[in-house]
Structure 1
């Protein structure tokens, strides 16, 4: 009940309705804080992974990060320069701008289109590989993208958007699932074209590479299931589509243990070709996404394959590359399995002869690793190094 006293309004809280309203207000406020705190704790528990910390600290230079950690860990303080003048202001500057004053790439990388791709981390570098050799992901030209969309409409009733199994009588147990997220990626010499933005085709593409890899693995005694799915979605949404393909495969066949996504690099021939025993090979790259908590397990498999290829075919592998959300898709469906990898085989200027030669080499390296870890009664003889 309100009263006026000397120009001021007073509220009488002695009435039962006023007291009830006041209690409800307090309880409501308390419930809001309780639910907000509970939600924050659940969200923190769900998403506070090492990859999140990595994305935060990725904007700091090594020197600044070492200085900041050294203030809490005395041992780290002995590993840096003792000069601390301006370190605090530099820490705030790097956090606010993501610019490292000692790294020119951080100044111009946000101004030049595509330059940020070279922020990709090279975990293991192949022979002669530097930042300009990092695998590049591109999209078809707008005109070609429309043409591919028209082709998808023509065959949408005959080609499903999920996987199509490759018939193979043996081996009966399938351990490897091969698919192609960017299924239309192709090779200019096979299409009779010159423009790198036109290295895409509905029929003649990396699906043929995936099929060949499956055949080679089958021949070596490792059951492989190959997707020939053609997706109708736009290029940026293709990982969402291929994720459904992988999940369907995992649901239908619980024997699957390895998941390989085949791609084609957009780099030119001088960066995607090598010569081994007098024969040209399309170079291969392994890309691992870090935008999930188990990426280190996928990295382990990629390292093993790179090292095995390096011992069998020196110079064939360009190396292992890490990409986060800022430099690529960041996840690449690799959160679905600790044995998932993305493989770039060749570039826009390679041909199928060179690519298939590399595919056979990859199958051999994979088989060597597989039979080292899997119990088998008998192992097939090793194939020759070239077709």
Structure 2
């Protein structure tokens, strides 16, 4: 098989041992993908309260993967050099060049198995009947629609624009002068997100976006309800002038400016709409349909643990007041999305998904009222005052 010529070894690639090695290699690879895909599908059907599969796969190292292959391909035991744990430089170079982490098989399996990347999101707290198929998903409008929305965008009417620092003069029901102190700042990073039933002639979920009938209307209702309950709220309604992938940077500047103008602000709520369909984003409570609520916490900032604690509080309060309305709290790193979501600015920041593409404004308004009540009760429990939240 081997012939030495001028000190070089020639390998006969058509030999039976080489062919056998390649057959075992292909079979071993196929078995890994089949097993992983089957396990992922089964896991999606089971309600879970934490990302067990995420923690399991994240713990696998390159040594483990090679060891699994070596069980089927004995040749690997002697021919493949397994990197040592102290090879930090070589691992870093590999990750930078390929965007694949040898210690995390999800980084390359996710590209081969559709939907596998979904499991990178951790379900911190799951609502009733929630599993991995309920995880909120952000989706951008098609490029042609994004360009059209940008071209058609017109300045909002002055009376509809709420700039940071503006204050409402009206007094809330039963709240006295308390609402003059603004505690909540509401904004909409993806302000064009809308609901299909509200858009005439639009049937495709990928095109559920609009410059006028959109998630901003839900955020305004949330602010109005908070005011009624005695908590002052600023609602920023202007669209952010940036491409989709730069919107969080644009909205961050607005939040920072609002914080500079008003040191009394305590809560920062970024209101979104999920991309899931109606069966995943609708709950019936006391005979009325509500748009589900989901909380997303980014881990790419120093405040994520405190923000997650606050999201848990709001979820638990919603479970107490409106059982089943909240889908839960979901944790995302930068690998699964923005990961920061402007939540580094405050330990009481919320990214809230209200409903999905098939919900209506009526359903979303009900959920906004429920969310306002939950936040108000948490706020007044922490800061007792005469103004108490009204009953629904």
What TM-score, normalized to structure 2? 0.70
1:314 aligns with 2:323: yes
Would you say how many aligned residue pairs link Structure 1 and Structure 2? 305
Which residues of 2 match residues 53-68 of structure 1 at below 5 A?
Answer: 61=57
Larger Rg, first or second structure (1 or 2): 1
Which sits farther off after the overlay, 164-173 or 231-240?
Answer: 164-173
Say whether the 8 Å CA contact 1:118–1:134 is kept in structure 2: no
The alpha carbon displacement at 1:99 in A equals 6.8
Distance, in Å, in 2 between the alignment partners of 1:117 and 1:239 is: 21
Q: Which residue of 1 aligns with 2:155?
A: 155
Distance 1:63 1:258 in 2: 36
Whether the 8 Å CA contact 2:187–2:219 is kept in 1: the answer is yes
Aligned runs of 1:215-364 on 2, under 5 Å? 215-364=224-373
Q: Give 1:124-139 correspondences, 5 Å limit.
A: 124-139=125-140
Secondary structure at 1:124 match in 2: strand
CA distance in 1, matches of 2:162, 2:152: 14
**Contact kept? 1:282, 1:355, Cα under 8 Å:** yes
Q: CA deviation at 1:374?
A: 1.0
Contact 1:176–1:223 (8 Å) recurs in 2: yes
Q: CA deviation at 1:63?
A: 5.8
Tell me, yes or no, if the aligned pair for 1:166 and 1:227 is still in contact at 8 Å.
no
Q: Which SS does the other structure have where 2:374 is aligned?
A: helix
SS state of the match for residue 305, structure 2? helix
Report the counterpart of residue 20 of structure 2 in structure 1.
none
Question: Pick from 360, 367, 387: which aligns with 1:379?
Answer: 387
Distance, in Å, in 2 between the alignment partners of 1:59 and 1:316 is: 28
Q: How high is the TM-score relative to the length of structure 1?
A: 0.71
- Structure 2: state its 5+ residue gaps: 1-53, 65-76, 95-99, 172-178
- Residue 140 to residue 62, structure 1, CA distance change in 2 (3 Å): closer
Mark the CA change 1:220 to 1:162 in structure 2 (over 3 Å): closer, same or farther.
closer
Q: CA deviation at 1:218?
A: 0.3
Are the counterparts in 2 of residues 177 and 226 from structure 1 also a CA contact under 8 Å?
A: yes
Aligned to 2:335, what secondary structure does the other structure show? coil
In structure 2, distance between residues paired with 1:108 and 1:277:
43
Q: Structure 1 residues 333, 173: closer, same or farther in 2, change over 3 A?
A: same
Hey, what's the Cα distance between the residues in 1 that align with 2:330 and 2:389?
32
Partner of 2:182: 174
Unaligned runs of 5+ in 1: 1-57, 69-84
> What's the offset of the Cα at 1:197?
1.1
Q: Does 1:367 align with 2:376?
A: yes
1:293 shift after superposition: 1.5
Contact 2:167 2:180 in 1 (8 A): no
Aligned CA RMSD, in angstroms, stands at: 3.2
SS at 1:255 equivalent: coil
Tell me, yes or no, if the aligned pair for 1:163 and 1:228 is still in contact at 8 Å: no
Q: Secondary structure at the match of 1:110?
A: helix
How far has the Cα of 1:164 moved from its partner?
A: 8.3
**Separation in 2, partners of 1:282, 1:311:** 17
